[in-house]
Amino acid sequence: MATRVEKLSPPQVEDVFGAAARGVIAMLDDHRNLAGGEWHEDIQAWNGARIRKIMRRARGAAWEKAQEVPGLTVHYGSAQVRVFVPGFIDEAPPALAKLQIQSTPLDEPDPTARLEPTEHTTLTIALNPDVEMSWGKRAAQVAHAAQRSWESLDRTDRLDWNADGRRVRVVQPTVALWETLLTTAPTTIRDGGFTEVAPGTLTTAAQLSRG
């Protein structure tokens, strides 16, 4: 994945997270991922292995060049994220391989102490407040939680969520709220330990709630 981070108009970090979540699901649900589709074999091979996601950043001409790499771009609030068709890291196209992985500092929201009721079917993804990660790493973890949540939904839940616009709420909770969410969230993610955190670190929890 890659996030557009322009110097004069950087995105809000929570919008980056939302775009990453929506983008991965959009790719999984894309007609090009259907059997016989041009993305199907690559996505299925990736999804059947130890899934890894990396968030890069781009601006200006590098961002425009990245649009030529197969994938799709999602707009979410102030953020634009492009999700690329999966492949081996050491075989990434030059336009993608040149993009930096190190995160540019973005403004961070205050921790969320309470989830406000929602009138719509919403996927809520919470990040573990006890684990320190760059925003790029957190975006990857949010996207992974979104993927596993999507894959676990039955047909009715998917239809209801689609009808409500695939709403995503990503929160960085207080410790107290995090512990509460863990008691009800059906999806939790433990990191593979490739970067930043130790293998098995609990990073995110997700659940679909109806309005």
Decide: 127 and 172 in contact? Cβ < 8 Å. Answer: yes
Q: How high is the pLDDT of residue 90?
A: 86
Q: What is the pLDDT of residue 124?
A: 96
Q: How many CA atoms lie within 13 A of 14 on its CB side?
A: 15
Supply the pTM of this predicted model.
0.95
The domains found in the chain, sorted by start residue, are 2-97 (no CATH), 122-209 (3.40.1490.10)
pLDDT in tens, 163-194: 999 999 999 999 999 999 999 999 999 998 88
Q: How confident is the model at residue 49, as a pLDDT?
A: 65
Structure confidence at residue 96 (pLDDT)? 93
Distance (Å, whole) CA 52 – CA 104? 21
Reported in sequence order, the residue ranges of 134-190 that DSSP labels E, i.e. its strands, are: 167-171, 187-190
The model's confidence at residue 211, banded by pLDDT at 50, 70 and 90, is low
pLDDT(201) > 70: yes
Task: For residue 147, report the phi and psi dihedrals to the nearest 5 degrees.
Answer: -60, -50
- Averaged confidence pLDDT in the chain: 93
Mean pLDDT of 150-156: 93
In sequence order, the 6+-apart residues with CB closer than 8 A to the CB of 127 are 133, 138, 141, 142, 170, 171, 172, 173, 203, 204
Q: What is the dihedral of CA 12, 17, 22, 25, to 10 degrees?
A: 160
Give the pLDDT confidence of 41-99 residue by residue, as tens digits.
999 999 876 788 999 999 999 999 999 999 999 999 999 999 999 998 888 899 999 99
Average confidence (pLDDT) over 106-131: 93
